[in-house]
Amino acid sequence: MMRLIEIFSLIAVIGCCSTIAAQDINRIDQSISINEDGSAEFKMDIQVIFADSSQSLNIPSEYVEMSQPVVLLDGGEIGTTATLTYDRTSPVFEIQFEQALLGAHVITLNSEITEYLNWEEAGPAEFKTFNWEVVYTNSIPMTIEACALTVILPDGWNYHRVNGSEPEFKNKDPKPPYTFTQIGGRASVSISRSQMKYMERVAIEFAFKNEQKPHLLIWVGLLLSIPYLYYFRHLVLRKDAEPTIKINNDKESK
């Protein structure tokens, strides 16, 4: 009986692998745009090649607490949406298409995560910094040729330092695997890796802080300046009323 179960399990694995093998994921670009209230906008662009015609696609998902993703196929919205399911114990996006697809396509998922950044868990730490980690794991048994992850901070916040990353930044590396940029006037960091195999990750752990000047301090400064100008107004008026002293030339002096 145990032997029979093993055979059926092997057949199931072979069937799963053959289905996945018919789909080559060239690249996944994922962005997390964090809002001040802790929510986040989620976007994923998937470049995939269907070697055989297929009406479905499974993509690893790191998040389960999100709104129903809206699916765009080659830039145009399609009627179906992705469904979050579980492959073994890992969440995946199961995308069903109305018609079978063949060849190269770009699939985009847009969604929102209502509770993404837990501010109390993140900090504050020393120097009033907050710490957070963003991770994406390839939880399906296939290789993703390239994967990039971009994290956009709320307006007025900036990165303080990177505490760790996958791929790791080693001393012998000519440059780090992550880059800092501005997107829409907001600070962002992007990290990428190639040949992301089964259960490999792209991740970045960072410290960030608010660089906005509090409006309260600005108003306090203005209020304190009013009595100063009032009590020392006579000095200002005296300076304005002081006549200009004309310097006579040497001939007139004599």
Q: Note whether residue 238 is domain-resident.
A: no
Q: Tell me how many domains the chain contains.
A: 1
User: What residue numbers bound the domain in which 88 lies?
Assistant: 24-210
Q: Note whether residue 142 is domain-resident.
A: yes
Q: Note whether residue 107 is domain-resident.
A: yes
Q: Note whether residue 50 is domain-resident.
A: yes
Q: Note whether residue 90 is domain-resident.
A: yes
Which residues partner with 112 through β-bridges?
41
Tens digit of each residue's pLDDT, the chain (254 residues):
444 334 333 333 434 444 454 789 999 999 999 999 999 999 999 999 999 999 899 999 988 788 888 899 998 877 666 787 877 778 899 998 888 999 999 999 999 999 999 999 999 998 899 999 999 999 999 999 999 999 999 999 999 999 999 999 998 999 999 999 999 999 999 999 999 999 999 999 999 999 986 544 444 445 555 554 455 555 555 555 555 444 455 544 44
| DSSP calls for 110-162 | EEEESS---HHHH---GGG-EEEEEEEE--SSS-EEEEEEEEEPPTTEEEEEE
Can you tell me the distance from the alpha carbon of 129 to that of 18, in angstroms, rounded to the nearest whole number? 48
Task: Specify the CATH number for the domain of residue 151.
Answer: 2.60.40
Q: Note whether residue 146 is domain-resident.
A: yes
Total count of residues recorded for the chain: 254
Q: Note whether residue 190 is domain-resident.
A: yes
Q: Is 55 in contact with 79 (CB distance < 8 Å)?
A: no
Q: Note whether residue 37 is domain-resident.
A: yes
